[in-house]
Amino acid sequence: MSIQVQGKVAVVTGASSGIGAATAIELAKAGFQIVLGARRLDKLQATVARIEEAGASAPLALELDVTSRSSCVRFVDRIVSDLGAVHVLVNNAGLALGTARVGSASEADEDDWETMLDTNVLGLLRMTRLMIPKMLESGGGHIVNIGSTAGRQAYAGGAGYCGTKFAVRAVTESLREELLGQPIKITEIDPGMVETEFSVVRYHGDADKASAVYAGMTPLGPEDIADCIAFAVTRKPHVNIDAMIVKPLDQAGPGRVVRR
Ligand code: NDP
Ligand code: 8X3
């Protein structure tokens, strides 16, 4: 580790599951004071318990729906009133819904597109807009956006989801330009296939379809991505990790997977 993290506050959105939960645990072990946000408070409490079991200091777990402006405002206000500062924001909350091809999509698929855009793009913008002034008041910060390989290479059936992740890249690069000269770092982490609740959510709860995604290959685990995030946020003050693309060895690209 190259920086002093004691006393630094790290906020992880979507910390009730998968990559967000693993990141919260990893950053807590590294010494950050953690704030967890997600809609499912019972699941957030499970992450809290895992952080406490690891012997790290007790995190603050707060309800957060990134699609709601008032929920985001309440979340950020509560962090500042309870902890007085914020240094790291991991914009992880996100989801894929469905694999409809545009030409055969239904009204329900259109609703899925709206939810993905509202969560993955507008939610990330909402949280970032609210956090930048608080980071500046705290003496500096670091924004980590979770994109995807789906934001670098599109695939059939992914127009809705890939569209949101290409947008995350555009937002990250706009922020890089806007924040030049300010003490705020900006990083994008673009994972390939990670086994989490992601595919269960994408297939609307169909566990068989979800597990078939990873059949015969070795996917990444959420802790593999958490490891990369922890590395990025603990570099020396003058070092900015712009982006990391992290895929399983068994994956060359979307749909290009070796199965044994
Ligand atoms: P999970 O489904 O396991 O976790 C998603 C998290 O996002 C949950 O904690 C969920 O919490 C939260 N979330 C969803 N909607 C909202 C919302 N409106 N407000 C607040 N939180 C929300 O999936 P992953 O861990 O895999 O996904 C995390 C991120 O990683 C996503 O941005 C995803 O696109 C990205 N990603 C995932 C890959 C994969 O293969 N798994 C690959 C590349 C990128 P709750 O439901 O409690 O609100
Ligand atoms: C998730 C990766 O390839 O399932 O962001 O879209 S993929």
Kindly report the backbone phi and psi dihedral angles of residue 189, in degrees, each rounded to the nearest multiple of 5, phi listed first.
Answer: -110, 125
- Is 254 close to ligand 2, i.e. is its CB under 6 Å away? yes
**How much distance in Å is there from the Cα of 6 to the middle of ligand 2?**
34
Q: What is the pLDDT of residues 17-54, one digit of tens each?
A: 999 999 999 999 999 999 999 999 999 999 999 999 99
Q: Which residue, chain included where needed, has tokens 């990444």?
A: 220
Q: What letter represents residue 56's amino acid? A: A
Q: Is the pLDDT at 1 greater than 70, yes or no?
A: no
Q: State the closest ligand 1 atom to the C-alpha of 192, by its place in the atom list counted from 1.
A: 42
Q: How confident is the model at residue 70 (pLDDT cuts 50, 70, 90)?
A: very high
**How much distance in Å is there from the Cα of 23 to the middle of ligand 2?**
18
Q: What is the pLDDT of residues 85-137, one digit of tens each?
A: 999 999 999 999 999 999 999 999 999 999 999 999 999 999 999 999 999 99
Q: What is the pLDDT of residues 207-221, one digit of tens each?
A: 999 999 999 999 999
Q: Which residue, chain included where needed, has tokens 């995030």?
A: 229
- Is 150 close to ligand 2, i.e. is its CB under 6 Å away? yes
**pTM for the full predicted model:** 0.98
Pick the CATH number of 9-250 from 3.40.50.2300, 3.90.226.10, 3.40.50.720, 3.20.20.70: 3.40.50.720
DSSP letter at 221 equals: P
